[in-house]
């Protein structure tokens, strides 16, 4: 856990992620309805940038699904942001085939997002219950890493 937490600190410094409010960030979902991260205020939000072609992204899917299923009615929600040029129907089919239960939003790849840069996939940001981006990680994340980080931050907000 300590190595991963140190990694989060390093990534935050590397990407220059200021503790910003992310709640005004809105993107279309798989049905073309605009969804805002503001709707999850009061919960920890795990925002995972990913692509269907990304092997590491696919590898972390079971952990993200498990995390979301375990916490979604309580204190943590996962939001996937597909970060590639892909047709909506193709993406819908992939999400259905993978049984992804959490919201999946769509965007084209850009250098910097309202949460911070996405230098590689997967990139994951953590938003605290007040709507502030508090951490980021480039590369594989696990359910345990995310739960441990959030547990270490509870009460600091």
**Tens-place pLDDT, residues 70-126:** 999 999 999 999 999 999 999 999 999 999 999 999 999 988 899 999 999 999 999
Q: What is the pLDDT of residue 2?
A: 43
Ordered structural domains, the chain, with CATH: 2-153 (3.40.30.10)
Mean pLDDT of the chain: 87
pLDDT (tens digit, 9 = 90+) per residue, 21-58?
A: 555 789 999 999 999 999 999 999 999 999 999 999 99
Q: What is the pLDDT of residue 82?
A: 98
Q: What is the pLDDT of residue 24?
A: 74
**Tokens 């250098």 map to which residue?**
111
User: Mean pLDDT over residues 12-16, rounded?
Assistant: 40
Q: How far is CA 49 from CA 75, 105, 108, in A?
A: 21, 9, 11
Q: What is the pLDDT of residue 25?
A: 87
- Residue 126 neighbours by CB under 8 Å, 6+ apart: 44, 45, 46, 47, 133, 134, 135, 136, 146, 149, 150
Percent of the chain past pLDDT 70, that is, above it, reads: 84
């Amino acid at each position: 856990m300590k190595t991963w937490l140190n990694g989060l600190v390093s990534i935050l410094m590397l990407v220059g992620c200021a503790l910003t409010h992310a709640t005004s960030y809105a993107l279309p979902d798989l049905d073309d309805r605009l969804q805002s991260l503001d709707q999850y205020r009061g919960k920890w939000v795990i925002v995972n940038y990913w692509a269907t072609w990304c092997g590491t992204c696919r590898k972390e899917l079971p952990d993200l699904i498990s995390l979301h299923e375990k916490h979604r009615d309580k204190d943590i929600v996962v939001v996937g942001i597909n970060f590639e040029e892909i047709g909506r129907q193709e993406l819908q089919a992939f999400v259905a085939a993978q049984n992804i239960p959490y919201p999946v939003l769509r965007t084209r790849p850009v250098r910097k997002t309202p949460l911070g840069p996405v230098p590689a996939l997967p990139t994951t940001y953590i938003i605290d219950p007040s709507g502030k981006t508090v951490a980021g990680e480039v590369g594989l994340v696990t359910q345990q890493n995310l739960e441990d980080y959030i547990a270490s931050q509870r009460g600091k907000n």
